[in-house]
Amino acid sequence: MRKIIVVAGATGNLGGKIVTALLDKGAEVRAIVRLETDLKKIKDLEKKGVNVFQVNTSNISEVSKHCIGAHCLVSALAGLRKTIIDAQRVFLDAAIEANVSRFIPSDYSSDFTNLKEGQNRNLDLRREFHRYLETTPIKATTIFNGPFMDLLTTDMPLIMFKQKRILCWGNPNQIIEFTTTNNVAEFTAEAAIDNKTPRFLRIAGDRLSCNDFVKLLTELTNEKYKLFRPGGIRLLNAVITLTRFISPSKDELYPAWQGMQYMRDMMEGRIIFQKYDNDRYSNIRWTSVKDFLIKKTTNRNSTSNFCET
């Protein structure tokens, strides 16, 4: 019998990839979307074979009736308090009301279990949601995957392509974990279909230090990359505080200071996994940073430009 998986956030980037991975694995997918969701996005999901239900997502009973019979509810919601705490809680309560046995919260992040509260706003919101999640009877599984590898050619300033530099705060040998959104989606789909998973699963497509990035980019581009070290973690914390004071941007998901908080957490080494669950599902081919960057090049005969996406 095909397992029924309910997805919240199916119209988003990661959510859409999770939906595709679930369909590829033979699951029956239900997507619960807001009343104001773009009709084109709904039709795109329906063309894939997804059962889409457009409901008032602040109403637990409305959401719950579309969860009946499901094996797992996967949340891929992205946002701040109204989304990660309020909206996600509605989906969680609805899943419990419908007797759904399993729930995967929208974490897909660095492992924040060893971080000090108050140092990373977005991860603090996930931690706050976990406090409520732990009081419920549903079997939950969080997936930690480190930073999305996809950000290396977009919003993450680690690789300074034009300057031929690798940005490094602190220890240049500190390992950082990266996983592509495609691999995260594949792993999440497997975990959703799985009958029994632990409370936490940790995956990493690749692990590199800043020094490793210097060697890799020099190899791929045939140009000399070097470290750019503006200072240590203490200076970075001061920059974060100043930037947040000058430009609080409280309603933005990723203001400049939030990106700096993620960078600080990576460079401190507090979020490095002690063990990995990559081998749990043997059919997943994990993408390395090298392979990812090569695929991003615009000229197959030259690897000198990874800035285009």
Q: Which two tokens stand for residue 40?
A: 């084109």
The pTM is what?
A: 0.92
Show pLDDT as tens, one digit a residue, over the chain (309 residues). Answer: 899 999 999 999 999 999 999 999 999 999 999 999 999 999 999 999 999 999 999 999 999 999 999 999 999 999 999 999 999 999 999 999 999 999 999 999 999 988 888 889 999 999 999 999 999 999 999 999 999 999 998 878 899 999 999 999 989 999 999 999 999 999 999 999 999 999 999 999 999 999 999 999 999 999 999 999 999 989 988 998 999 889 888 888 878 888 888 888 888 877 777 789 999 999 999 999 999 999 876 434 444 455 443
Would the CATH topology of 4-147+180-202 be identical to that of 149-176+206-271+286-296? no
- Domain ranges, ordered by start, for the chain: 4-147+180-202, 149-176+206-271+286-296
Asked if 141 and 104 count as a contact pair (C-beta separation under 8 A), the reply is: yes
| 4-147+180-202: CATH, from 3.40.50.720, 3.20.19.10, 3.10.270.10, 3.20.20.100 | 3.40.50.720
Asked if 109 and 79 count as a contact pair (C-beta separation under 8 A), the reply is: no
Please choose, from the candidates 1, 6, 26, the residue with its C-alpha nearest in 3D space to the C-alpha of residue 283: 26
Q: How many CB atoms lie within 10 A of CB 146?
A: 25
149-176+206-271+286-296 maps to which CATH number? Answer: 3.90.25
> For position 90, what pLDDT does the model report?
98
Q: In what order do the strands lie in the sheet with 226-231?
A: 159-160, 165-169, 226-231
Give bridge partners of residue 87 from the DSSP assignment: none
